[in-house]
Structure 1
């Protein structure tokens, strides 16, 4: 077998191994070195890990089993110290490995500005999982502030992730607008405005002078104009440089990167290079698509096939913190060029096409990028656009008349048109997979990886499926609950009610489940549906709950727990505060934090201390705050008429009554309420699942707000005159949500599906409202108990810290 040594387990070298080992499983003996203590993961998805949208485990490309199945010898966490080209041996820290062929996939190094203070603790780059974890750890510190140097894609993703973690974040950028290499000034302005709306401070035309430190740790960034920006974390995201050190030390030809020819071969015929470390015809590479092209060419070269790497024009389709961006070609100003610009401020849409002669040479889009691939193809093909100039800005659907089939543009895309930028997948790869039997989006992801990363190309992939399969393709309207069945959440819930299925066993049997007892994905959903629909007949199954709900506390990344006592409407008293302080002292709680929901969080509680801590807090009259649950979390209030001169109603009193009525109820997802005593809205009621604004004439009840990954203002449900009506309407809405929503859908997503008018009709129907309230109170009478007291009495002697953690990955 031919011995191949690979240095670097990045995305490019990982793709080489996929081509080699999946297509030629018995031909190569592979040893893989990686300085990181892990294998290949999708670095593009580090931003969602930072923001909390995904876990590291979800972005792993090749796990231990993948390498084991392919007999790859993994030398992870081990650096290569030397390459002996004469002896054809790679010397790692733990010993030598001979090779027949060597692949360098050493990637790139982040550029650190060598200004004074750059070596202080707390100054980091944003390049790998270690950097990401350091940022997450710092963000967990109360009151932590961050400064990000660099207004490019990576810097903005870092800033957005840290902001979502609760940090105060400032972005410092040398240029006059953000992402100046990809966006023109107008699109850069829209992006800046969107980020500022999310609470991120942007400093443009700002030159960094010095990093200030205290006791060896960063404390501020000093700008050239004397402005000082305090920070506990400073992230440099100002660019990358090819990591050529090993190649240069081995005597290979090196310029900006390690020189390679069209077959990815270096100046040594037995050494190849791929990815961000290479230089090809004077160009270096940072986007994924060309790296995957290189990987395919290298794999073909190593197996004796004829292949040639050709640099291609590249479009940039990016997603920064929920903002869709697209740019392609050259959009620089010139007297020989003219622009076509479309603006829709109400939708936040901006499109600019740059035309030179009768050719489209550049495109910049913000907010609506659906036609980006079509414009990019026009640029690449140098297609004459004179005949469609009047309608060009409106996209392919308007060419040949406004009744043209929108799918015609997808059908017209050539085979080499890129569909998935994250994985470098072109149209022909997808159509080949379809020809080989892939007939839905899941099969396309499994066989080609298209739409398997950021997901922004999913709609385009589905259109390719629709064009290729014709009537044989059915656009999915709802995803199955999991792999155990073919039914959607909506179908399962409807059948549970209509067929009166009142146990999990009945669901598995009657609905044709493929697995006998379900899985970690479907069991929590089915348990909830049965619990909500049949409160008298169904007994809650604790083992079908996520680990947090089984342990009645939030598990943290280090295996400790977070405990949050309930404070009704944000009101507490000295006795409760003493009990919390005593518990923090007694159980050596390292962090005590005031939460955004007006409560106190005890962080870092050891699992073995939970039962005793719960018992102590119960004795003081404190019950669970359900900070871990799919249920009522908080009711945030202002002081209302009791103390505030602007208050119109007793918002605190109403908030307490609502929390006491709703606490302990299981819901499809977490539920948060806010009650503000006047339109000044100090309780931030307009971004909650239910928000009530007190006014002179009564109460304005609004629903379906959000303030997490999505930011959405509530929509007015109704106005009522009395506190009792406000209570009834809120309880009825929560029960309607309980009875009809898909499990793990927040209220705003559910309302968007069923329509606010449908909700209003049912709440306005007094008979239906009374039924909903009665159903909610029935469920509460059966299931509302303090889980801390229940857990202490039933399980205190049976606690096993490592038991039943199998569902945590699905949390």
Structure 2
């Protein structure tokens, strides 16, 4: 039996989700062709704001790779638009002259961004925020210009504004009415959101109506009807979307606001269906992803001739997401009305607001701000029209019982965990038990829960813990930075990025630290993360560093210090040796010792002598105390050793000179051996380089300490330049991804070597990005930070004060 020809017009989230459902139901029924106007595979448009904000990359938001289309025998044509449909012959015509016949045709053309018809709207620098190209244009503009105006105070406008702030631009957000996100929030929640965003640096022009955009060729100013004028180098219009009905209209298919469909997603034309943002169902056009996925499931069953009782009945609109780091949720009819009554709770100390709207004996709407953990339960109550006459107000707002202490424990299996994808508690529990799932990522890949906006990840994690019990602790235990906060390392990094935080005290204040001053665990961690995230702008807070790093020396058990000058690749000369000998004599150094890292350690130096010791040595510090690149141990190499195959000394010196002073989550030791005999112990270093005939092997994650670990082979390259580039990408990924005070050996065990290879080795684009970020970080490093003790008396005094040996990790 020949396959039916199925053509998708549109390669977006709604259409391809429907296609996934079709493949689940009957993978062999259709010969499938997909046309997409954008030059990309299917990607998560919801996460564009994360790309703009720098939290993720374009590759990370791809939902279905090119390999997925190939694996499922789908013919994909990107950068190609269907312009006309011959309904009689059942043929589609594209803008590239291609014609394809169909038996069934699905229109999933999405929507167009609405651009205000203002004078000057056609000028350079006036854009929408709808696709990857818009993101790229904003990022490019931020490299040249400083002032941006975002027109629209809805969700999309606020996310664009947050991204532009992260890119270093000054941002004015223009909104035509007096409160933000009026479709998702009530006035109280909107006011709280505005106050929080103002703290993050957004400036709001409320009740402002734009009149014109001025400038010669590029935008220079924005004029408002009240006479106000603001400067602008970039204008982003985020005022809404309109269904893309172009091909339907051109082909004589019935349209109104959108392409009109019935409960089975059928259009007015035989064998042609529509779904997603382009479709109008019972006079409603939906822009949120959850209704679009519901439509996709109905259409998949219809087109595969599966049993359908009622078709698509419409959706209760709900939104659960993060707006610039703030959790918000709304669902149903949440506005005040004479027929409604509301339960309201507001905690100004915690920044939490909850409003539950009741009509008769049923919950019909809800707004949550700051704490959205109860959102899924409330949405289920609304959808199921649950009778609440026997529930107290407290029980409606708080589902956690004393017995279970868990929100998910109380949920029925039918209750929805992931609203975007319609995944219930029962679906996830069954998958965990049957498939042996132990992580949020595995649950996402198996069930689609948390695949879209990601705000249900917390509930998915809670459900994993509830289902796995003690086993969960071994796979996903949350590690907070310290007792000063309930946040993990990853959460603090995300919050710093999302809120644009730039100072240690600011992080503690904004993120609700329990101790105003923090402690010796969290202060250095925050200081590191800020420097890593803002390498060019952040001024290192020396007072937040461990005592050893402040003193540029290792404190000993008797209160004296050891000083280790740098010797690149373990190589020295007579001049430096004389300096060291003279210092040893002058300051009566009790012990001069050769270290395991091929350097000389001067032990027993008094604290007050440290500045003069460094001055007399006039040599770079070896960072024997630092969470940084410490040393590169080398063998003598091919120039001297009869077994050597490569120039180990030259490679070691090149590595050490390139990465010296680089701050890392923990100490990093390297070794370069000229042959597999490994005289420099390269196999147990954080980064070990081993020369073989004609090439170099790069090993990572070794540890020669109390937890001995052999390094893993990362890759094999031929030239010194390739070694330097690979090590740069690897170290930058470690810097960005590891937790503070996590050694490379522990990091690799946690995230997996295969994952690291996929980022650093296999993804050439990501590797290049990491190398570029490393160069930025290296160029921003101070040249001789240890000289501050010599040159600045006040700094010297600060460095010497409040020394506490217990600080040293």
1:762-807 deviation line (CA, Å, top 9, x unaligned): x8543x56x77xxxxxxxxxxxxxxxxxxxxxxxxxxxxxxxxxxx
The 1:288–1:658 alpha-carbon spacing in structure 2 relative to 1, beyond 3 Å, is: same
TM-score (norm 2): 0.62
Q: Aligned match of 1:84 in 86, 103, 108?
A: 86
Q: Report the equivalent of 2:349.
A: 346
Matched, 1:421 2:419: yes
Segments of 5+ residues of structure 2 without an aligned counterpart are 480-488, 491-664, 670-679, 687-696, 734-767
* Aligned 8 A contact 1:338 1:356 in 2: yes
Secondary structure of 2:171 counterpart: strand
* Aligned 8 A contact 1:244 1:257 in 2: yes
Q: Report the equivalent of 2:230.
A: 229
The 1:278–1:626 alpha-carbon spacing in structure 2 relative to 1, beyond 3 Å, is: closer
Secondary structure of 1:396 counterpart: coil
Comparing 113-122 with 199-208, which one deviates more in the overlay? 113-122
The 1:539–1:152 alpha-carbon spacing in structure 2 relative to 1, beyond 3 Å, is: closer
The 1:249–1:344 alpha-carbon spacing in structure 2 relative to 1, beyond 3 Å, is: same
Q: Aligned match of 2:149 in 140, 147, 158?
A: 147
CA distance in 2 between partners of 1:83 and 1:106 (Å) = 13
Q: Report the equivalent of 1:51.
A: 53
The 1:278–1:660 alpha-carbon spacing in structure 2 relative to 1, beyond 3 Å, is: farther
CA distance in 1 between partners of 2:107 and 2:410 (Å) = 39
Comparing 69-78 with 350-359, which one deviates more in the overlay? 350-359
The 1:331–1:507 alpha-carbon spacing in structure 2 relative to 1, beyond 3 Å, is: same
- Provide the aligned C-alpha RMSD in A: 4.1
Q: Report the equivalent of 2:799.
A: 727
The 1:479–1:303 alpha-carbon spacing in structure 2 relative to 1, beyond 3 Å, is: farther
Cα deviation, residue 264, structure 1: 1.4
CA distance in 2 between partners of 1:532 and 1:129 (Å) = 48
Alignment of structure 1 residues 421-570 onto 2, 5 Å: 421-441=419-439, 442-469=441-468, 473-474=472-473, 476-478=475-477, 505=683, 526=701, 549=728
Cα deviation, residue 479, structure 1: 8.6
* Aligned 8 A contact 2:380 2:416 in 1: no
CA distance in 2 between partners of 1:422 and 1:546 (Å) = 41
CA distance in 2 between partners of 1:426 and 1:248 (Å) = 38
Q: Aligned match of 1:313 in 304, 313, 316?
A: 316
Alignment of structure 1 residues 174-213 onto 2, 5 Å: 174-213=176-215
Cα deviation, residue 363, structure 1: 1.7
Q: Report the equivalent of 1:112.
A: 115
Cα deviation, residue 220, structure 1: 1.6
* Aligned 8 A contact 2:17 2:296 in 1: yes
* Aligned 8 A contact 2:221 2:230 in 1: yes
TM-score (norm 1): 0.62
Cα deviation, residue 530, structure 1: 6.8
Alignment of structure 1 residues 276-675 onto 2, 5 Å: 276-307=277-308, 308-392=311-395, 394-397=397-400, 403-407=402-406, 409-441=407-439, 442-469=441-468, 473-474=472-473, 476-478=475-477, 505=683, 526=701, 549=728, 628-629=776-777, 633=780, 658=785, 660=787
Cα deviation, residue 463, structure 1: 2.7
* Aligned 8 A contact 1:531 1:539 in 2: no
CA distance in 2 between partners of 1:189 and 1:99 (Å) = 52
Segments of 5+ residues of structure 1 without an aligned counterpart are 481-487, 509-518, 555-606, 611-623, 636-655, 663-674, 678-697, 699-721, 730-762, 773-811
Cα deviation, residue 657, structure 1: 7.2
CA distance in 2 between partners of 1:659 and 1:336 (Å) = 71
Cα deviation, residue 234, structure 1: 0.8
Cα deviation, residue 112, structure 1: 1.0
Cα deviation, residue 386, structure 1: 4.6
CA distance in 2 between partners of 1:66 and 1:540 (Å) = 27
The 1:357–1:4 alpha-carbon spacing in structure 2 relative to 1, beyond 3 Å, is: closer
Cα deviation, residue 429, structure 1: 3.0
CA distance in 1 between partners of 2:284 and 2:57 (Å) = 34
* Aligned 8 A contact 1:548 1:628 in 2: no
Comparing 239-248 with 305-314, which one deviates more in the overlay? 305-314
Q: Report the equivalent of 1:575.
A: none
Cα deviation, residue 503, structure 1: 6.2
Cα deviation, residue 16, structure 1: 1.9
Cα deviation, residue 35, structure 1: 1.1
Q: Report the equivalent of 2:645.
A: none
